[in-house]
Amino acid sequence: MLGLLLLSERYQASGIGRSAYMLVERLVRTWPEVRRVRIGVVETNARVLPYWQRMGFRATGETRPYAVGAVASRVIVLERSLQSAS
Ligand SMILES: CC(C)(COP(=O)(O)OP(=O)(O)OC[C@H]1O[C@@H](n2cnc3c(N)ncnc32)[C@H](O)[C@@H]1OP(=O)(O)O)[C@@H](O)C(=O)NCCC(=O)NCCS
C-alpha cells in the first residue's frame, strides 16, 4: 500500500512522477511476496486519477469513507498487479 507520492509543485508535470513511481516499483519487485501495489486516492483529489491510470493502476471498485477536519469524502482504492505487468 503506497501511503503518498508527493512532489514539490514546481517539479510536477515534467516526468519526475513517472520516474519516481518506476523506482518505487523496481524496489517493490525485489520483494517476491508482494503481488500488487495499492493506492488510495481521496475523491476531492480526483484530478490525480489519470496519473495513476497512466502508471497502470485500475480502480478496484472499493471505496472507504474519508473524514479529516472539515473534509468529508471517500477514498477510491486502485491497484496494479505485478504478476503479469512489467
Ligand atoms: C501525482 C504526482 C506525483 C505526479 O507526478 P508528475 O511529475 O506531476 O507526473 P508526470 O509528469 O511524471 O506524469 C506521468 C504521466 O501521467 C500523466 N498525468 C499526470 N497527471 C495527469 C493529469 N492530471 N491528467 C492526465 N494525465 C496526467 C502525464 O501526462 C504522464 O503521462 P505520460 O508519461 O504517458 O506522458 C504529482 O503531480 C504530485 O505530487 N501531485 C500532488 C500530490 C498528489 O496529489 N499525490 C497523489 C496522492 S494519491
Pairing label, strands 58-68, 71-81: antiparallel
Ligand 1 geometric centre to CA of 8 (Å): 12
Q: Work out the mean pLDDT of the chain and round it to a whole number.
A: 95
10 ligand 1 Cβ < 6 A: no
Ligand 1 geometric centre to CA of 32 (Å): 27
- Cα distance between residue 86 and residue 82, in whole Å: 7
Distances (CA, A) of 31 to 4, 34, 35, 75: 20, 6, 9, 26
Cell of 22: 518506476
State the pTM of this model.
0.93
Using most ligand atoms within 8 A of CB, pick from 51, 76, 79 the residue to mutate for ligand 1. Answer: 51
Q: Mean pLDDT, to the nearest integer, of 2-18?
A: 96
pLDDT tens digit sequence for 18-51 = 999 999 999 999 999 999 999 999 999 999 999 9
Residue pair 2/21 in contact by the 8 Å Cβ criterion: no
**Domains in the chain: ranges and CATH:** 9-81 (3.40.630.30)
